[in-house]
Structure 1
Amino acid sequence: MSRNLAAKEIFYMALKTLRSNKLRSLLTMLGIVIGNASVITLVGVGRGAQRLAENQLSNLGANVLFVVPGNNDTRRRGVAFPKNLVLRDSDAIKQQVPTVKRVAPQISTTEVIQYASSSSSVSISGITPEFLPVRSFEIAKGRFVNMQDLKSARSVVVIGPDLKDKLFKQSKAIGETVRIRDQYFEVIGIMAAKGAVFGNNQDENAYIPLTTMVSRITGKDPTYGISLSFISIEAINEKSTRAAKFQITNLLRQRHNIIRDDDFAVRSQKDALTIVSTITGGLTLMLAAIGGVSLIVGGIGIMNIMLVSVNERTQEIGLRKALGAKQIDILNQFLIESLILAVLGGIVGTCTGLTTVKIISLATPLPATIGRDIILLTVMISGSIGLTFGVLPARRAAKLDPIVALRSL
Structure 2
Amino acid sequence: MIGIGEGAQSFVNAQVNSLGPNVLFIIPGSPEAQSRPVYPPQTLVLADAEAIAEQVPVVEEVAPSLNGSELMSYRGKNASASLIGATPEYLSVRSFDVARGRFMSDLDLKRNEQIVVLGSELAEQLFGNEDPLGKQVRLKDISLQVVGVMQPKGSTFGTNQDMNAFIPITTMANRIVGETSPYGTQVTFISVSIKNPDSMKAAQFQIENLLRLRHKITDEDDFTVRNQKDLMNTLGQITGALTLVLAATAAISLFVGGIGIMNIMLVSVTERTQEIGLRKAIGASQQDILAQFIIEAVILSAAGGLLGTAIGVGGVFLVAAVTPLSAGISPVTIAVTVSVSGGIGLFFGVIPAKRAAQLDPIVALRSA
Is the CA contact (8 Å cut-off) linking 1:161 and 1:204 kept in structure 2? yes
Contact 2:73–2:138 at 8 Å: present in 1 too? Answer: yes
- What TM-score, normalized by structure 2, do the two folds share? 0.89
Matched, 1:126 2:85: yes
> Counterpart of 2:44 in structure 1: which amino acid?
L
Match of 2:303 in 1: 344
Matched, 1:46 2:10: no
* CA distance in structure 2 between the partners assigned to 1:220 and 1:86 by the alignment: 11
Gaps of at least 5 residues in structure 2 are none
Q: Distance in 2 between matches of 1:374 and 1:235?
A: 36
1:215 alignment counterpart: 174
Q: Which moved more, 1:65-74 or 1:334-343?
A: 65-74
- Which letter does structure 2 place at the counterpart of 1:233? V
Gaps of 5+ in 1: 1-41
Maintained 8 Å contact 1:49/1:368: no
Determine whether 1:227 maps to 2:196. Answer: no
Aligned to 1:91: 50
SS in 2 for 1:233: strand
Contact 2:63 2:89 in 1 (8 A): yes
CA change 1:304–1:80 in 2 (3 A) is farther
The match for 1:301 is: 260
Q: Which of 15, 19, 22 lines up with 1:63 in the alignment? A: 22
Structure 1 residue 144 and structure 2 residue 100: aligned?
Answer: no
Which deviates more, 74-83 or 330-339?
A: 74-83
Is 1:184 aligned to 2:167, yes or no?
no
Select which of 265, 274, 285 maps to 1:326.
285
How far did 1:50 drift? 2.3
Task: Report the residue type matching 1:280 in the other structure.
Answer: T
Q: Residue 386 of structure 1 corresponds to which residue in structure 2? A: 345
Residue 381 of structure 1 and its aligned partner are, at CA, apart by 0.6
Q: Compute the displacement of 1:215 (Å).
A: 2.3
Deviations 1:291-330 (A, max 9, x none): 2322222211111111222222334333443444332222
Asked which structure has the greater RCO (Cα within 8 Å, sep 6+), the reply is 1
- The Cα of 1:120 is off from its aligned counterpart by 2.0
Q: Determine which of 244, 251, 255 is the counterpart of 2:203.
A: 244
User: For 2:48 and 2:172, how far apart are their aligned partners in 1?
Assistant: 18
- Aligned residue for 1:194? 153
330-339 vs 174-183, greater mean Cα deviation: 174-183
State the shift of 1:126 in Å: 1.0
How far is 1:171 from its partner?
0.5
Q: How far apart are 1:247 and its partner, in Å?
A: 0.7
Distance 1:178 1:144, change over 3 A: same
User: Which of 48, 55, 61 pairs up with 1:102?
Assistant: 61
**Matches of 1:366 and 1:92 in 2, distance apart?**
40
Q: Secondary structure at the match of 2:328?
A: coil
Deviations 1:112-162 (A, max 9, x none): 222223222231111122222332323222222223332332322111111
Paired residues in the alignment total 368
- Quick one: distance in 1 between partners of 2:282 and 2:193? 84
1:264 Cα shift?
2.2
Give the alignment's Cα RMSD to 1 decimal. Answer: 2.5
Q: Distance in 2 between matches of 1:222 and 1:248?
A: 21
SS in 2 for 1:353: helix
After superposition, the C-alpha distances for 1:159-186 in whole angstroms (9 at most, x for unaligned) are: 1111111111101111222222343322
Q: State the AA in 1 paired with 2:27.
A: V
Q: Is the 8 A contact 1:83 1:224 kept in 2?
A: no
The worse-fitting range, judged by mean Cα deviation, of 47-56 and 293-302 is: 47-56
Q: 354-363 vs 198-207, which deviates more?
A: 354-363
CA distance in 2, matches of 1:83, 1:408: 87
What is the rounded CA distance, in whole Å, between the counterparts of 2:282 and 2:60 in structure 1? 88
Q: CA deviation at 1:97?
A: 2.0
Mapped pair 1:376 → 2:335: yes
Give, in angstroms, the shift of residue 230 of structure 1: 0.6
TM-score, normalised to structure 1's length?
0.81
Q: Which of residues 335, 340, 352 in structure 1 aligns to 2:294? A: 335
Mapped partners of 1:394, 1:47: distance in 2: 37
Q: Residues 27-55 of structure 1: CA distance to partner in whole angstroms, max 9, x if unpaired? A: xxxxxxxxxxxxxxx32232233223333
Letter in 2 for 1:130: E
Q: Aligned AA for 1:138?
A: D
The farther-off stretch of 336-345 and 321-330 is: 321-330
Residue in structure 1 matched with residue 164 of structure 2 by the alignment: 205
Distance 1:138 1:323, change over 3 A: closer
**In structure 1, C-alpha distance between the alignment counterparts of 2:126 and 2:53, rounded to whole Å:** 37
Task: State the distance in 2 between where 1:47 and 1:325 align.
Answer: 48
User: What CA deviation, in whole Å up to 9, does each residue of 1:347-381 have, x standing for no partner?
Assistant: 22223333444455567654313222111111111
Q: Is the 8 A contact 2:31 2:223 kept in 1?
A: no
Aligned to 2:133: 174
Q: Which amino acid aligns with 2:247?
A: A
1:226 partner letter? T
